[in-house]
Chains A and B, each alone.
Chain A
Amino acid sequence: MAGETIEREDTRRIGSLLDRAPVDAETLIGIGTILPVILLYLIISIIPVGFAVWASLHEIPLLNPNWTYIGLSNYAEVLRIDRFWASLWRGVVFMVGSTLLQLVVGLWIALTLNQIKVAQKLMTAVVFSAYLIPTIVVALGGLFMFDTFVGVLHQIGSETLGLWGENTFALGTHQWAMPLVVLIGSWKFSIFITIFALAQLRAIPMRFYEAAKICGANRWEMFRDITLPRIQGVILVAVLLRSIFMFNKFDLIWILTNGGPGYATTTLPVLAYREAFEAANYGLANAIAVVMFVFLALGGVAYFKVFNPSDEVET
């Protein structure tokens, strides 16, 4: 067809132009393919982080367009206020507690799911849906089940187990708020570990176990020598990702407790949000965000140094 020939000639002309360009066509096409990703990252990550750094050097009342340059004093204030250090500590408790619980439960579920023969597909589907159910639904379900008047878990906790009083809203107490937030979050996020581990478990060839059986290995030996080495690497990756995600977790805590009672469940992301939209101190909030980013970036660099995750993928 006529159109096609013209098109081809055009391409050829562009091609010959490209041949004379300082970079070769291959590089241009290559960069072209990743350009959308680079642009997205520029808009969503690089510019905001730069903007946050810039904003953190100012005093910014949220509803007032006037920025006052105040240098590093937001940072000085961040490092001075008790709220920050207490939130950091709570964040670490939340992160470590959640990750450990999720690791144990997630692995347990994966190992069991991989072995059961009955209704495996249905079971897997139900388990996976826990991960796919939106956090808001998990949190609303949690609020409902711990409600003082109509909540089934509230009743179990107060009457059956005697953990708290009959009229006590457990999520509103200093003692129970944090453990319950960890527990409710782990219901959903344990499955993240399960998915990672199960994917690896399914990839282990059956003949490994058959060979081990012939050699007379028992179940524990098979687990120790075949299963564990195969899932070790991915568990490390999953645990690291989970720690990062839990450190950053905002939505679950905010919906369940608003960071309260008082500051009992205020981790760093919640503190940043409260400073911005409750205390209307946008500059200080950004300073907190930048400090968080520095923590995570250091964590990220350490992660690459220790695990070098791109090793296996490089061509």
Chain B
Amino acid sequence: MGTKTESDRSGTFGLDFRTEDKLYRVALGMSAFIFFVFIVFPIYWVFQSSLKTRNAIQTGGITWFPSSEGFTLSNYEVLFNSDVGLYLLNSVIVTLGTVLSVIVISLVAGYGLARIQFNHKANFARFLLFGYMFSPIVLGLPLYLIWQDLGLLNTRIGLIIALTAISMPFSVWLMWKYIQTIPRAMEESAWVAGASRWRTFRDVVVPQTQPAMIAAALFAFALAWSDFTFARILLPQNSATTFAPGILRLINQSYSFAWSDMMAASMLMTIPPLLFAYFLQSYLLKGFQIRSL
């Protein structure tokens, strides 16, 4: 393109800056549009299908919106279906239990690792990371018989224990790193003022770890809310099962459970994650700012 003067330094592909800028903006917009469609389309499709009557899904063909006579909210009565309601309740209990125990246990362990000097700390941390190598299926198969012996099979507490352990590597490391960023001086001044270690932990450290607690809670939530493998193996009975294996069992067993019901149930499981993602996304990002795991 002829000779260039100092003033029109070349941009990418040798284009001048103004053209490059324009091209870049167009490409960025298009790319955002494409992936947005790619992510939103399935969610939208499940949502709009959950608002259609059975008949509209079966015979109405594939349409972008529920037609006026095909529109219904009655699919959401699936919530009051005794089976589905129970599965959802079990899922909520298991998720809450897991989130709470993950927060408490990782907070204490993170504090210990960050603030107390003792031997084999680093080895312990390595050992924790090793937890990533255990596949749920590798652990689940033996746990089935172990839980049976301990009487934990078909109990929600049994599932909570398993899911808490699986969330541990990430949340303990998160807490450990986070507590290291809190200035030690604050605790020291509390000690000087005569506070016990426990008081210091409770009143000085804990309030400051809030972002890390939220991040850890979010991960525990994602894990427990979506768990299928452990729930399937450890809750073989219908009465104790959580949503994921429960709904699959319902689908395999009954002919009366239609696509529209299933999509409504799916939406019910999707709403909490949507809310979490909107309101807590900055905490989620903060949690992942860890350079290494």
* A27 contacts the other chain (CB 8 A): yes
* B3 contacts the other chain (CB 8 A): no
Tell me, in angstroms, the Cα distance from A33 to B228 when the chains sit together: 30
| A: interface residue count bin | 35 or more
Across the interface, which residues of A come within 8 angstroms of B197, CB to CB? 29
A40 & B274 in contact (Cβ 8 Å cutoff):
no
A interface majority secondary structure: helix
Tell me, in angstroms, the Cα distance from A196 to B168 when the chains sit together: 18
B226 & A198 in contact (Cβ 8 Å cutoff):
no
Which among B40, B142, B243, B277 has the highest number of chain A CB atoms within 10 Å? Answer: B142
Q: Which of B253-275 contact A (CB under 8 A)?
A: 259, 262-263, 266, 269-270, 273-274
Across the interface, which residues of A come within 8 angstroms of B145, CB to CB? 51, 55, 282
A44 & B139 in contact (Cβ 8 Å cutoff):
yes
Count how many chain B residues have C-beta atoms less than 8 Å from C-beta atoms of the other chain: 105
Partner of B118, one of A27, A134, A300: A27
Chain B residue nearest in CB terms to A54: B142
B112 & A136 in contact (Cβ 8 Å cutoff):
no
* A70 contacts the other chain (CB 8 A): no
B291 & A32 in contact (Cβ 8 Å cutoff):
no
Across the interface, which residues of A come within 8 angstroms of B127, CB to CB? 41
A248 & B136 in contact (Cβ 8 Å cutoff):
yes
The interface-forming segment of B29-37, B75-83, B206-214 is B29-37
Across the interface, which residues of A come within 8 angstroms of B262, CB to CB? 140, 144
How near does chain B come to A200, taking the closest CB pair, in angstroms? Answer: 7
Partner of B117, one of A30, A51, A273, A286: A30
Chain A residue nearest in CB terms to B56: A150
Tell me, in angstroms, the Cα distance from A150 to B55 when the chains sit together: 11
Across the interface, which residues of A come within 8 angstroms of B141, CB to CB? 48, 52, 272-273, 276, 282, 285-286, 289
Q: Given A34-B124, A40-B164, decide whether A115 and B28 contact each other with a Cβ distance below 8 A.
A: yes
* A228 contacts the other chain (CB 8 A): no
Partner of B228, one of A136, A202, A296, A309: A136
Q: Given A40-B165, A108-B31, A144-B46, decide whether A297 and B133 contact each other with a Cβ distance below 8 A.
A: yes
Chain B residue nearest in CB terms to A111: B31
B interface majority secondary structure: helix
* B135 contacts the other chain (CB 8 A): yes
Tell me, in angstroms, the Cα distance from A131 to B58 when the chains sit together: 30
* A149 contacts the other chain (CB 8 A): yes
Contact with A along B1-34 (1 / 0, CB 8 A): 0000000011110000100100010001001100
Contact with B along A249-272 (1 / 0, CB 8 A): 011001100000000000001001
A116 & B284 in contact (Cβ 8 Å cutoff):
no
B137 & A187 in contact (Cβ 8 Å cutoff):
no
A199 & B116 in contact (Cβ 8 Å cutoff):
no
Q: Given A37-B105, A140-B262, A300-B130, decide whether A135 and B244 contact each other with a Cβ distance below 8 A.
A: yes
A309 & B293 in contact (Cβ 8 Å cutoff):
yes
How near does chain B come to A140, taking the closest CB pair, in angstroms? Answer: 5
A125 & B133 in contact (Cβ 8 Å cutoff):
no
* B185 contacts the other chain (CB 8 A): no
Chain B residue nearest in CB terms to A147: B259
Q: Given A44-B162, A237-B292, decide whether A269 and B135 contact each other with a Cβ distance below 8 A.
A: yes
4 further A-B pairs in the complex, CB-CB below 8 A; given A134-B273, A282-B141, A310-B122: A33-B112, A126-B277, A132-B274, A276-B141
A–B Cβ pairs within 8 angstroms, 29 of them: A27-B118, A34-B109, A40-B161, A41-B165, A49-B134, A49-B139, A55-B142, A105-B35, A124-B281, A131-B222, A132-B221, A132-B226, A133-B270, A136-B244, A137-B270, A140-B251, A141-B45, A141-B266, A196-B288, A200-B289, A218-B10, A218-B12, A237-B293, A241-B293, A250-B135, A251-B244, A304-B126, A309-B129, A310-B129
In the complex, the 5 A-B pairs of residues with the closest C-beta atoms, listed nearest first: A33-B112, A132-B273, A30-B118, A134-B226, A44-B165
